């Protein structure tokens, strides 16, 4: 029996992880570096203007560890816009000094496990719209990872009834709610778009809260039995000034 959960989708998401080719950056002359920085700043400005007009949102973070040096997380109305941003960025002088580390394509998703159906069209509800088309918080830290729900013989999420899944999601939501005000989560669905089923993007002003929240969830049935995780990326907010400082030799 098909008991697929109804989902609502909002803005499309591109997490674009890059590394900096420091050898090439150091070998460039001052003029070339200045051009690269100007172009980078022009893009950062353009993306913040798009955000001010509520046509999308962009978050820029440096990444700690060797998986990448920074991430550009873009939310836009269409996949076409994400593609255009990616291509425009790739054409910049600055992008020539970066290499592609990882990327993730998904769409902001809300599922109806816990939705109170008041009969109204959720797409007319401003609270729902604000969650589907969120302005990304400028929190001090970001944490991103992709994940699946298991399809093993004994632990197959997709063979459970809606009621069984709803009970588990209720418990999941209750744990999450304890972190209200400390961690902001954006769940993006990626079935059909990328290699995992969801992207989880968390924002916090205290990075330790990522560990505490994810650890607590591991003991909860839905994560303990069904969750499989990809690589974790964690990083620090990059204002345009900090970005420039990071690139200073």
The residue within the footprint of ligand 76R, chosen from 19, 62, 96, 111 (CB under 6 A), is 111
CB under 6 A: which stretch of 25-33, 91-99, 107-115, 134-142 binds ligand 76R? 107-115
Pick one of 114, 123, 159, 162: the residue that binds ligand 76R (CB under 6 A): 114
Binding mask 5-24 for ligand 76R (x = CB under 6 A): x-------------------
- The answer to whether residue 168 forms part of the interface with ligand 76R (CB under 6 A) is no
Q: What's the rounded Cα separation, in Å, for the pair 129 and 210?
A: 25
Residue 141 Cβ, how far from ligand 76R at the closest point, in Å?
14
Q: CA 136, 235, 73: angle at the middle one, nearest 5?
A: 40
The whole-angstrom separation of Cα 33 and Cα 63 is 22
Task: Determine, following the binding rule CB under 6 A, whether residue 177 of this chain makes contact with ligand 76R.
Answer: yes
Which residues share a beta bridge with 7?
Answer: 111
**For residues 22 and 107, what is the distance between their CA atoms, to the nearest angstrom?**
33
CB of 56 to ligand 76R, least distance (A): 21
- Which segments of the chain are extended strands (E)? 7-20, 56-63, 70-76, 98-111, 141-149, 183-189, 198-204, 227-229, 233-237
Name the residue nearer to ligand 76R (CB basis): 28 or 175: 175
User: Within a 10 A sphere around the Cβ of 29, how many other Cβ atoms?
Assistant: 8
- Positions in the binding site for ligand 76R (CB under 6 A): 5, 110-111, 113-114, 147, 149, 169, 172-173, 176-177, 179-180, 183, 185, 187, 198, 200, 213-214, 217-218, 223, 227
């Amino acid at each position: 029996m098909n008991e697929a959960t109804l989902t609502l989708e909002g803005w499309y998401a591109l997490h674009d992880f890059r590394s900096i080719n420091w050898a090439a950056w150091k070998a460039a002359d001052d003029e070339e570096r200045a051009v690269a920085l100007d172009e980078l700043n022009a893009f950062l400005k353009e993306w913040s203007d798009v955000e001010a007009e509520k046509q999308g949102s962009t978050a820029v973070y440096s990444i700690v560890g060797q998986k990448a040096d920074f991430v550009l997380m873009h939310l836009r109305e269409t996949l076409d816009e994400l593609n255009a941003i990616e291509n425009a960025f790739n054409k910049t002088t600055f992008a020539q000094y970066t290499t592609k580390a990882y990327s993730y394509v998904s769409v902001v998703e809300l599922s109806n496990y816990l939705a109170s159906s008041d009969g109204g069209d959720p797409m007319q509800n401003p609270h729902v719209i604000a969650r589907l088309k969120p302005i990304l918080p400028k929190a001090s830290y970001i944490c991103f990872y992709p994940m699946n729900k298991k399809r093993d013989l004994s632990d197959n999420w997709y063979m459970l009834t809606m009621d069984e899944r709803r009970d588990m999601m209720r418990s999941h939501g209750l744990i999450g709610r304890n972190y209200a005000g400390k961690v902001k989560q954006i769940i993006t669905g990626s079935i059909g778009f990328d290699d995992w089923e969801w992207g989880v993007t968390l924002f916090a002003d205290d990075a330790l809260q990522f560990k505490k929240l994810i650890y607590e969830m591991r003991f909860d049935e839905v994560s303990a039995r069904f969750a499989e995780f990809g690589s974790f990326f964690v990083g620090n907010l990059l204002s345009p000034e900090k970005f420039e400082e990071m690139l200073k030799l």
